[in-house]
Structures are given as structure tokens and as C-alpha cells.
Structure 1
Amino acid sequence: MATATWNGTVIAQSDSTEMVEGNHYFPLESVRAEYLQPSTLTSVCPWKGTASYYTLSVDGQQNKDAAWYYPAPKDAAAQIKDHVAFWKGVTVTD
């Protein structure tokens, strides 16, 4: 089972993540939404599409833009629709 942890707190946990470019993409329903705050940041991947970001907020601390997702991925990345990945100090173990 893959687990994403930040600030000593489990943010996401799933046994059915999608691996893309070395990143676990967690199904949205396996992510604890209470720790996610929408961000205005976006970025573009030529083959996945436009990514949107979340800031993590745990116990009064924030990790800006530490989670990303593709709300409308291109066909080549359709398997990561409704999935979230992490970086910026978030530990992901499997």
C-alpha cells in the first residue's frame, strides 16, 4: 500500500495508485481532503496537459503547492484523471 505523509500526518493511502514518471498518483477518494487547499498555480506538461495544485495544511503548517493533479489530462495520461501526486517534502512509501 502506498502512503503519502507530511508533517507526521498521513495525507493519502491507497493500494491502487497509478505510477507515472516515478510518481504515485493517488485516487482522489484516498486523499484526505481536509488537508488540501486549492492553489492558483498551474503548470503544463506536453503529454499530460495542464496541472493544478493544492497547498497542504496540517496542524497550522502549510506546504505550498505540494500536491498536483490533472483535472482534464490528455488522452495519453487518461489513467491519472481524478488522481493526486505529491512532492516538496511529502514522503511517499510503498
Structure 2
Amino acid sequence: MQARLGDTVIAEADEADLIRIEGNWYFPPAAVREGVLTTSPTPYTCPWKGACQYFTVTVDGHALTDRAWSYPEPYPTAIEKVGADFSGYVAFWKEIEITD
């Protein structure tokens, strides 16, 4: 599967390597293209997943603030609920198209 912004692939992995949570596909950290994400200072803590890290997605000089996120250290109960360790996996907001 691919995460694309326009014609640019920003993440790519086999579907079996992704984790689906609440309708969002989470890509393994190694599947995300180097240099596309920069850490955002936006704070958020999900009541059941834990502290979230937001990222700005930048492609060809075009920056989209807070359009990607991950949970570096999700709550153990969240890992249990999801059935997989999604620590550091990255999900993308709607401007980023996820395709097979």
C-alpha cells in the first residue's frame, strides 16, 4: 500500500505490515520516506492510545502541518486492544491518499 501526496509516494509497505486503527492505516516507521516528516509541537493525548506525536508532511516545498501522527509509546492496554504493537507507526490525514 502507498501513502501519496499528489504524485509523490511518501510511505509504502505491504498491507500485511500495516495496522488499521479507527479507520486509519498506520505505516511502519521504516516505510515512511526519509525527510518527508518533521516533528510538530502540537500536543495531544488520546484517552485510550496515549500521547500522540504530530508531524508536518513536506513534499516539494509544500508543507501540511499536523497531517501525520504516531504514538511513540502507546499505552499497553491500547496495544492489547489493537492486537499489535503500533509504537511509532505513522498514520496520515485525508489529504494524503492511501492506495493499494
Give me the TM-score of the superposition, normalised by structure 1: 0.92
Identify the residue that residue 64 of structure 2 maps to in structure 1: 63
Q: Give structure 1 regions of 4+ aligned residues with deviation exceeding 2 angstroms.
A: none
Identify the residue that residue 30 of structure 2 maps to in structure 1: 29
Identify the residue that residue 82 of structure 2 maps to in structure 1: none
State the 1:44 CA deviation.
1.5
Secondary structure of the corresponding residue to residue 30 of structure 2: helix
Q: Is the 8 A contact 1:48 1:77 kept in 2?
A: yes
| Structure 2 residue corresponding to 1:90, chosen from 82, 85, 96 | 96
Give 5+ residue unaligned stretches, structure 1. Answer: none
Secondary structure of the corresponding residue to residue 27 of structure 2: strand
Identify the residue that residue 80 of structure 1 maps to in structure 2: 86
State the 1:45 CA deviation.
1.0
State the 1:82 CA deviation.
2.0
Q: Considering only CA atoms, is the larger Rg found in Structure 1 or Structure 2?
A: 2
- Counterpart residue identity of residue 42, structure 2: L
Give 5+ residue unaligned stretches, structure 2. Answer: 80-84
Task: Compute the RMSD of aligned alpha carbons.
Answer: 1.1
State the 1:29 CA deviation.
0.3
Deviation string, structure 1 residues 18-42 (Cα, Å, up to 9, x no partner): 1111111000000012111111012
Secondary structure of the corresponding residue to residue 37 of structure 1: strand
Distance in 2 separating the partners of 1:55 and 1:30: 17
Distance in 1 separating the partners of 2:13 and 2:62: 24
Secondary structure of the corresponding residue to residue 34 of structure 1: coil
1:54 paired with 2:61, answer: no
- Counterpart residue identity of residue 97, structure 2: T
Aligned length: 93
Deviation string, structure 1 residues 52-91 (Cα, Å, up to 9, x no partner): 1110111011111110000110013332102000004010
Distance in 1 separating the partners of 2:34 and 2:55: 10
